[in-house]
Amino acid sequence: MANYATSQFKNGLKLMLDGNPCSIVNNEIVKPGKGQAFNRVKFKDLITGKSLIKTFKSGESLEGADVMELDMQYLYNDGSAWNFMDPETFEQYAIDDDAMDDARGYLVEQDMCTVILWNDNPISITPPNHVILEVVDTDPGLKGDTAGTGGKPATMNTGVVVQVPLFISIGEQVKVDTRTNEYAGRS
């Protein structure tokens, strides 16, 4: 992979930092009244999802990260891995359970997800913003309103638990916002 000097830094550039691929979130050039120029850079670690800030002397360079973002279709889970397909090349990728994070609760077969590949290995999966899930368990009607919130917990077919309105019952399909884990309407 090519090296990138600080003068080439821009938002979205993917670089290797401490062995992990990271994406530049913000690049601030700081030139003190007396003294040399520095780049204070905010990164997102693409593996851990954490953000971190580093400061570089102007002219320092970092190795680029071979990172690609692809839209892929979720196919099925075979018990040991989650299988995706690139609809353009029909190439299939098996993704280990530990790369899944919170995404596993929102994967519906046939849905398109964003998959980040690093050195051709999937490192992160982002499900669509909204998915349709089926309620497999929830207390019937008002009885579930133990917190007095006007809502009740419901377990979905994917295992994720979402707060739903009291009128929702087992077997119904509901729309869930995957970014906030919130109920977003009946399907």
Partner 1 sequence: MIHALMNMREDLKKYSDFLQKIRHFFSQQNVIEVQTPALLNAPTTDVYIDSISLSVNQDIYPKTQYLHTSPELEMKKLLTQGSGDIYQICQVYRDNEFGERNFNEFTMLEYYRLGFDIHQLIDDVSSLLVDLGIKDEVVKLSYAQVFAQFSDIDILNANFDDLRTIAQAHGLSTEFDWIEDLQIMLFVHLIEPKLKQLPVCFIYDYPSTQAALAKVKGQVAHRFELYLSGVEVANGYDELQSSESYQRVFKVENDRRRHLGKSVLELDLDFLKQLENSLPQCSGVAIGINRLISQIS
Cα–Cα dist 99/90, whole Å: 21
# residues contacting partner 1 (CB under 8 A): 20
In the structure encoding, which two tokens stand for residue 73, read together?
């279709």
Q: Whose Cβ is closer to partner 1: residue 34's or residue 90's? A: 34
**Which residues are within 8 A (CB) of 78 and not within 5 positions of it... i.e. 6 or more apart?**
94
Sign of torsion over alpha carbons 13, 81, 86, 120: positive
Which of 54, 104, 130, 175 touches partner 1 by CB under 8 A?
A: 54
Element counts in the chain: helices (H) and strands (E): 0, 16
Say which DSSP state 39 is in: E
Which of 1, 48, 49, 57 touches partner 1 by CB under 8 A?
A: 57
| Alpha-carbon distance values, 36 to 29, 53, 90 (Å) | 11, 19, 51
Q: Whose Cβ is closer to partner 1: residue 26's or residue 121's? A: 26
Site residues (CB under 8 A) for partner 1, limited to 23-52: 28-38, 40
Q: Whose Cβ is closer to partner 1: residue 34's or residue 89's? A: 34
Cα–Cα dist 129/114, whole Å: 11
Binding characters for partner 1, 100-139, by CB under 8 A (x = yes): ----------------------------------------
Q: Please tell me whether residue 56 binds partner 1 under the rule CB under 8 A.
A: yes
Least Å distance, CB 29 to partner 1, is 3
Q: Which positions lie near partner 1, rule CB under 8 A? A: 7, 18, 28-38, 40, 53-57, 60
